[in-house]
Structure 1
Amino acid sequence: MTLKELQSEPGPVVSARADTGGMTTAPGTVLVVEDEVSIADVLAIALRYHRFEVMTAGTVREALTLAERTRPDAALLDVMLPDGDGRALGRELRERRPDLALVFLTARDSPAEIVGALGFGDDYITKPFNIDEVVARVAAVLRRTRPADVLPQRPPLRYGDLELDETTYCVHRAGKSVELTPTEYALLRFLVRNGGRIVPKEQLLRHVWQYEHLPPESTVVETYISYLRRKLDTLGPPVITTRRGVGYGLA
């Protein structure tokens, strides 16, 4: 998803600042270090939507200056930066701030790369990535590294007998826990946020999968809708509706 698309996305993204749920405290401050401006912008918008304070840097030098001045709670680091290695930057940041959470973001996915980064970092995300998964992982890392009393609780999202906890990323239907993958969670959350509205398939592809162009024969949305139905419909009547040729919504 591009920055322009994310800013123009209808519904909750546009009205995120109004939907504060009574919260005035940010769940944490995140330093995003990414030299590709479009990626940095999308990450910053997604994190701010989830009420994180966000700073961005495109180089090692900028990141070190920002980290010293603002003392973030977590750093989301691209491994390949124009003036240095993100892993070396992570080591230096960790030396300066032992309590700083580190999440690496990179296209490298070999076992040696992952093991090396996790030797001193807290998590490792490969490109291409799902925006909601990145946010969920940053939040999970902060839950592990920060005291519970400094992480404010967000009111759960509810629709009918569905309840989504945006602090723990847990899902319940009729009071019973539902185990979802990050992508399934992102898809269900977007449907819940849109209430009873039918969401076009193209909008789901842009928001959940960040696809701008996809062959018309692709069935990725249909596949994940079937996964959700399989897990949700065992706990109650069918909750996801289909408008053939248009999209999906909640009953």
Structure 2
Amino acid sequence: MALLTADGVRIEAAYQPCTDQSAAAADRPAIVVAHGFTGALDRPGVRRAAAVFARRSAVITFSFRGHGRSGGRSTIGDREVLDLAAAVAWARSLGHGRVATVGFSMGGSVVLRHGALYGPPSGAHADAVVSVSAPARWYYRGTAPMRRLHWAVSRPAGRLVARWGLRTRIHPEDWDPVPLSPTEAAPLIAPRPLLIVHGDRDTYFPLEHGHALARAGHPARTELWIERGFGHAENSAGAELLERIAAWAH
């Protein structure tokens, strides 16, 4: 499926029905998966997550702008909120009355901003939000992987490497204005529930990021899972963790 965002970018998306056929399709919730930077809907980590989520819910996967076969260029989490909104609106158009968003890394920051900016009854809003391995603030350079990422984003040579080596096309312009930060977005999601998931072996964003996001969220509507042995984002998420996320989102 090709979705068209509010700013005119074509986004590739795919729909996977729930494998549990015990209820009518419209009665089942849907989970919309937002992948991490350099990911795409056909990457193994995304497909593995979708297969686990589909045991409980219908699943929509898509490629953010500048990734996979989607058009446009990546803005590293800024305009990507429009991509997610298009995917959530598609889920609702298919008859799903409840939609949860699950985002990983960059996608984790996008689901937070989407949750803050799109509230009911917009038609593109999430009923529950799960943010996995997300940064708490922009421009973080405290780890070697994040310093490499900033080089790839900010330098012409880095963007060339990302385009040909990682199949990711990056927009050359800086943010203007700087988008709402993840910690600023988190409290605006309430009264809808928010789940923050972070691993104690995350090499991109240390545990302080997960704790900061959880503190920022509404105390009565925010839950924090610190996962022992878990690394970063969808590529490190095992079936057991994914199953628990699906159960929470359901």
Does the alignment reach a TM-score above 0.5? Answer: no
Structure 2 length-normalised TM = 0.37
| Bigger Rg over Cα | 1
Structure 1 length-normalised TM = 0.37
* Structure with greater helix share of residues: 1
